[in-house]
Amino acid sequence: MYHCNGHPVQLILFDIDGTLLWPKGAGRESTRAAMREVFGSEGSLNDHHFGGKTDWFTLAELLRESGHTADDIGRRMPEYEQVIAHHLGNMIGDFPIAPCPGALDLVRELITRNWLLLGLITGNVSTTAPLKLRAAGFDPAWFAVGAYGSESTNRNDLPFLALERAEQLRGHPIAAQSVIIVGDTPADVACARAVGAVSVAVNTGFSSRESLEATQPDYLLDDLTTFFSQVLSQPARTGR
């Protein structure tokens, strides 16, 4: 069993964009097509900074001027999820989506440990997350639980959902100190802190190293190639 900060690790939750993979514009363009179709507007999408936000929050920000409230958007989320998945599915081959350095090797290694659960905490809606993962070479089934950007406007709600789902799956409580949350933005560090999990910031996304340092994550990595050596330890066996 791996340990981290003195606790056995039971659940590792990964952000997607900028952490596991680089979407290379696929997210923005599929969002544009879906917003136009469902809400008739894309707002100031071109200047929008997606990092760390949930897609529901992004839609609420972009559509405020055209009179859509966060609640309205929430009610139409099931429709939006269908529409954006359709658009992303059609266009995804046009974008050179790629895994971040070390991400595929890390996840492939971690899924061989049956005492460990992997999951997702992502701003992506639940229908686009698996499409992006597959395009970058990840099998979405490797991630046993997830919490998505279609489920709250507040990213800090997502780790609680993911943890609850992991506990249901395992059939026993999981201590927050046994959970690691990996992400590329200050918002990922904040959501780890909200639930009491270990935070691992990885500098492969769209946030500056300084902005990540300022949030004082438990670990700050250049990329996921050093996750094993810097974050996890395997304590020596004691006894006979």
Nearest to 25 by CA among 4, 8, 39, 46: 46
Nearer to Mg ion, 72 or 223 (CB): 223
The answer to whether 1 and 8 are in contact (CB under 8 A) is: yes
Q: How many other C-beta atoms lie within 10 A of the C-beta of residue 176? A: 18
Residue number closest to Mg ion, CB atom: 18
8-state DSSP, 49: -
Q: How far apart are CA 155 and CA 94, in angstroms?
A: 29
Q: Which is nearer to Mg ion, 8 or 137 (CB)?
A: 137
CB of 6 to Mg ion, least distance (A): 27
Give the 3-state secondary structure percentages of the chain, helix then strand then coil, rounded to 5: 45, 15, 40
Q: How far apart are CA 77 and CA 58, in angstroms?
A: 13
Distance CA 133, CA 51 (A): 17
CB of 230 to Mg ion, least distance (A): 19
Which parts of this chain interact with Mg ion (CB under 5 A)?
A: 15, 17-18, 184
Output 55 or 184, the one with its CB closest to Mg ion: 184
Q: Which is nearer to Mg ion, 38 or 200 (CB)?
A: 200
- Distance CA(219)–CA(189), nearest Å, equals 10
CA distance 15 to 189: 11
Cβ 173 to Mg ion, closest distance in Å? 28
Nearer to Mg ion, 29 or 184 (CB): 184
Tokens 């904040």 found at: 190
Nearer Cβ to Mg ion (42/188): 188
